[in-house]
Structure 1
């Protein structure tokens, strides 16, 4: 695996290191030892699959607070998505900064999402499928979220939103809560 640290400390793009031959290729997609060597949490508590019928579908922006903070390893296995993470660590020099990464079935990239980062994505194709490896069990009482269109974040989503859940549409604006520490 090839680990590329982003400008948000602890967040990595992970590319495959393919071993090719006449049959195709082989590549490792996860190794606890390599994750630890890069300072990443290698725990996998749950694996999730998300399927999106229509391009433009938006999911997010979700995160969990202590004591149930999550890490995530996100990979698009069919189609393409635009994946966004936001630093929610109040003491971080990049607090409320975000990055966006295109993950596709063709580029086979993954995005490692550290603890206390909000995560969301937009499907760039119909029938986009996403696999999440999550480092903590989902705990509804500790789930939080951000509005995908919060003016403070200024996220430039590539498409108009075609589908979004009522829950994701209703997250509060940052100016109305003390983000990252609310209970």
Structure 2
């Protein structure tokens, strides 16, 4: 582990109390940089190396006790910019695609509103795109539910069979493509 804190990043002098915990099933150790919340005025660079070489570094990222941090890979090291020394950090890997759970019942029925929930157990959802018959349609999110009101799209209700295609990608490039048919 390497931590680079730029000059002027701390509001006062601090003695770091770094802790290292071995994670038997982890890609790296778990690093606790300080035992209390210490915000930084400027971002610091945290660099973590895996304990053993990883076969797919594009699927790895730095995570903190609060979740996804991100990071870039070069020369055997993952690096990310951080703003808090009071979190714990480790490397994680995400090879599982996001999941789309539909709240709309399709079953070949007439549909006017499309609703779904998106979840990703790893790095988190990066992008969500939806198309009806190849034309982009906008979904909005409220409290974790993504909604598209078809009357607010360029599509006209013609009572014909339509094909909905959604593409969901997480921050590590894992993608889910889900297709549904409905009548509108």
TM-score bracket, normalised by the shorter chain, equals under 0.3
* Bigger fraction of residues in strand: 2
TM-score, with structure 2 as normaliser? 0.27
TM-score, with structure 1 as normaliser? 0.27
* Bigger fraction of residues in helix: 1
Q: Which has the higher contact order (CA 8 A, sep 6+)?
A: 1
